[in-house]
Amino acid sequence: METTSKKSLITGEVMKSSILGAFKKLNPVYMVKNPVMFVVEIGFIFVLLLAIFPNLMGDGTGSHLRLYNSIVAVILLVTLLFANFAESIAEGRGKAQVQTLKKTKTVTEARVLLSDGTQIMKQANELVKGDIVIVRTGEVIPNDGEVIEGIATVDESPITGESAPVVKERGGDFSSVTGGTTVTSDWLKIEITSLPGESFLDKMIALIEGASRKKTPNEIALNTLLVSLTIIFLLVVVTLYPMTTYLNVTIPVATLIALIVCLIPTTIGGLLSAIGIAGMDRVTQFNVIAMSGKAVEASGDVDTLILDKTGTITYGNRMAEEFKPIKGVKEIDLIRAAWLSSLKDDTPEGKSILSLAVKLNVDSTDEKRIVETSEDIPFSAQTRMSGLDMQDGTKIRKGAYDSIKDRSIAAGRALPKDLEELVHQVSSLGGTPLVVAEDDHILGVIYLKDIVKPGLKERFELLRSMGIKTIMCTGDNPLTAATIAKEAGVDGFIAESKPEDKINVIKEEQSQGKIVAMTGDGTNDAPALAQANVGMAMNSGTNAAKEAANMVDLDSNPTKIIEVVEIGKQLLMTRGALTTFSIANDVAKYFAIIPAMLMVGVPEMRALNIMHLNSPTSAILSALIFNAIIIPLLIPIAMKGVQYKPMAASKLLNQNLLVYGLGGIITPFVGIKLIDMIIGPISQMTGL
């Protein structure tokens, strides 16, 4: 569930910083990282020199071309600024988020508990790993850590955007706390697990700040293609100059540079970085922190999704679903005994039994007296049962089937004939049977159900439509695992799995050339999260899981991987669509510039002037202007991404080729013609 409100695409502050960034990025040291735009910058510098020093070429034709050279130089500068602006806009969104996160980092004092039991106050930046701190209501947790004592609600809204406090307690998958969050009730004793500057919040800030310059393998491959095309067109233009000279056709140097700029893939070259950064930003908008662009990109190619069951597919806490009395026992008597056995049971299971009993109208009028006068018999690994010894001598117990059965037999009680059948019924449903006895007389069974999170079946069906296989890993027995797998709607499951089993299934899938994603929240999931191509840890999970993963879901919603996969696919589609559009653009620009350049000296070239442009000069300037303005016009698509709909890859490819390939050819014809209609008369009036 998305809890954060969407920010507008471009705020005033982002706009201001992006305009400034567009000029700063003109630094050649920076521009050389984008070879396509670096070629444009070299062309701009050369044409600018020709405008300032008309006779630089020494051919005596420069003076009357000063105005033309100046106009070309301005258009090339605008092209560079638009390309830099696109990247700065994407970076600006991330920088705005960094500022929000930095506001969360405050100078906090921590109450440190010493080994002798005394407490001292320390600055948060003085804490070291292993320090024990106590945080009370209204106080800020000074650094990342694990709860070792206490139970409290914590406001994590500065990190997750979720306004509802989260319960944190020792043990399980909800013991991890994040520095900068606030305790809103009770108190926690926390063991610090990270050094100052190495907290999760610090890492988030560093990741977002460093996102702009981390290129993915796919992006590097595309850059290689763009550089290759640029080199090819450079060679074409360089050889064109002596050829036209041989034909006694004089072509101004500025026109040749304009030809290079129009033919090389400047559109995608100017938008490539912005697309990658915006992809990471879109993931962040879904409250997922990606450690790199590579993780986002890999998610777009995911074939198999491995999911941990407990806390991921299910809530992790077994809940009382039904009371099943044996023959001859009234249901209300079983409910009353189960209620009594759970009065002092603080576990989630115990609380759910109380809740269900009250819902079924158990008589709870004497609860306070019973709690005060009875003796609590806590659960232990040895007895595998718990309950109450009441003041009148009545002994109420609930526990594992074998334990209660053995206790009943030892007391000389006859086992109910239908007890084993009831236990088997619960087990076959994927539940956990708890047997209830009063004075060693067995009354029936409590059906504890591992609750599957709502909406999962539909979302797994959506993954299936994307061609993604889902596999559930669980430590449960095969019967329980099969039941949960069927209810959740996963494609397969691995029962009684150990951490190494999860790694093995990931390696097996990867050996078949598949891209594997894994979601998990426990320490036992950490090795598998590290092995997977895309490892997404739940923020509510352990620090070990978050360290091993390359994504962290701040909302702790395992189905969020669906959104991440869609964003990854959207990123790849956007890059491919705009690359197609950019290259298709060059076809139209070819028909605008080449005939315009050559038809003065080679009249036969007029046949190729299919757009009937006003003059060679207006044709070249129109193509250059279109080449510049198409970049900012495509920024919204680069930022928001091409719309993704689950469908077959071949159908998706054909659709994008039709829309962006055909659109990339038609749009320049229309755009260049419209621009020519405006500047054609102006060029004639000025004598260009």
The type of residue at 330 is K
Main-chain phi, psi angles of 56, to 5 degrees:
-60, -35
Question: CB under 8 Å to 380, separation ≥6 — which residues?
Answer: none
Main-chain phi, psi angles of 435, to 5 degrees:
-90, 135
3-state secondary structure of 189: strand
The type of residue at 632 is P
Q: Which residues of 523-532 are buried (b: 16+ CB within 10 A; e: fewer)?
A: ebbbbbbbbb
Terminal-residue alpha carbon distance, the chain: 60
Q: Is 206 marked as a binding-site residue?
A: no
Distance from C-alpha of 90 to C-alpha of 677, rounded to nearest angstrom: 34
614 Cα distance to chain centroid: 50
Q: Is 450 marked as a binding-site residue?
A: no
The one catalytic residue in 131, 173, 281, 308 is: 308
- DSSP letter (8 states) at residue 439: T
Q: Is 380 marked as a binding-site residue?
A: yes
Q: Is 349 marked as a binding-site residue?
A: yes
Q: Is 512 marked as a binding-site residue?
A: no
Helix-then-strand count for the chain, H and E: 24, 22
- DSSP letter (8 states) at residue 633: H
3-state secondary structure of 270: helix
Distance from C-alpha of 280 to C-alpha of 502, rounded to nearest angstrom: 27
The answer to whether 540 and 556 are in contact (CB under 8 A) is: yes
Sign of CA dihedral 196, 197, 198, 201: positive
Report the 10 Å Cβ neighbour count for 150: 17
Pairing of strands 441-452, 314-325: antiparallel
Q: Is 385 marked as a binding-site residue?
A: yes
Q: Is 345 marked as a binding-site residue?
A: yes
Distance from C-alpha of 180 to C-alpha of 105, rounded to nearest angstrom: 6
Q: Is 530 marked as a binding-site residue?
A: no
The answer to whether 288 and 161 are in contact (CB under 8 A) is: no
Q: Where are the alpha helices (DSSP H) in 518-559?
A: 526-531, 543-548
- Is 366 in the active site? no
The answer to whether 311 and 176 are in contact (CB under 8 A) is: no
Nearest Cα to Cα of residue 619 among 561, 672, 556? 672
List of E strands, 51-186: 109-113, 119-123, 132-136, 145-149, 151-155, 166-169, 176-177, 182-183
> How many C-alpha atoms does 418 have within 13 Å on its Cβ side?
11
Q: Which long-range contacts (CB under 8 A, 24 or more apart) does 466-470 make?
A: 466/565, 466/566, 466/569, 466/646, 467/303, 467/649, 468/302, 468/303, 468/304, 468/305, 468/565, 469/303, 469/304, 469/305, 470/304, 470/305, 470/307
Distance from C-alpha of 180 to C-alpha of 635, rounded to nearest angstrom: 35
Nearest Cα to Cα of residue 502 among 282, 306, 680? 306
Distance from C-alpha of 621 to C-alpha of 627, rounded to nearest angstrom: 10
Residues of each annotated binding site: 345, 349, 379-386, 398, 521, 525
Query: Residues annotated as binding site for ATP?
Result: 345, 349, 379-386, 398
Q: What residues are designated binding site for Mg(2+)?
A: 521, 525
Active site residues: 308
